[in-house]
Structure 1
Amino acid sequence: MSNILNSHPYAPSSLSIPHYVPNERSTVELLFIAGGIMTTLVGMSYAVSRSQLSKNTTSTARFTWFAICGLMHCGFEGYWLWNRAMIAGQNDIFAQLWKEYAHGDSRYLANDELLLTLEIMTIVNV
């Protein structure tokens, strides 16, 4: 008989994920929300670059690329660092995105120390 407290869709099924609650939104909904957020961020970065920097296409592309990378590393990954122990039990949009991401690497919901170290290094090196 499976323990209801450890009932989750992640591999391995024996992985302990305390306080896990399923996402309220479907994968498709989360994909559209994340796509909308990214489109908005890219558009804003592009607009700032075109209005404040040179009109050079290469400069604009570089600024946009680095702005998105910085926002992703410091914002999205920073959210994981700050909330990593509670994400499995939360259903705000970033928690749901991380739970969806964890289908590919369940260590993100298991408080893996290696991932903690790697994410800290990623944010510090931005």
Structure 2
Amino acid sequence: MAGMDDRPAFDVFSRQCPSRGTLEHVTGRWGSLTLGALYEGGCRFNELRRRVDGVSEKMLSQTLHALERDGLVHREAQPTNPPRVDYELTPLGRDVAERLLGLIELVEGRMPEVLAARERYDEVSGGAGRGGR
């Protein structure tokens, strides 16, 4: 942030800011669910895939690579036969996941209001979940 050393301030609203990519990794569907799942404790790839219901093997792999590159997830490969790979959150990843879980809990807790709003919208707009503008 500005004022701390000579590093530039980061501004996610600027198209050139590298924080945009990290925000996308963290707030995308699979990134947020992966971080939330790992907050409960480290696990192996297939355990994580079962926990994050609906994610493909390819998408989970891409998500884990992006989160590892951003310093949010630590990958540890054990030299066993077959190889064992464990994933866990870094301290930074725990901070981010904690905030995401607050948002997830808020959304889950307010779903009756969301569903009622959707129903009202669909009645007025004459179509169920048109999805666009």
Please give the TM-score of this superposition, normalised by the length of structure 1. 0.29
Structure (1/2) with the larger helix percentage: 1
Please give the TM-score of this superposition, normalised by the length of structure 2. 0.28
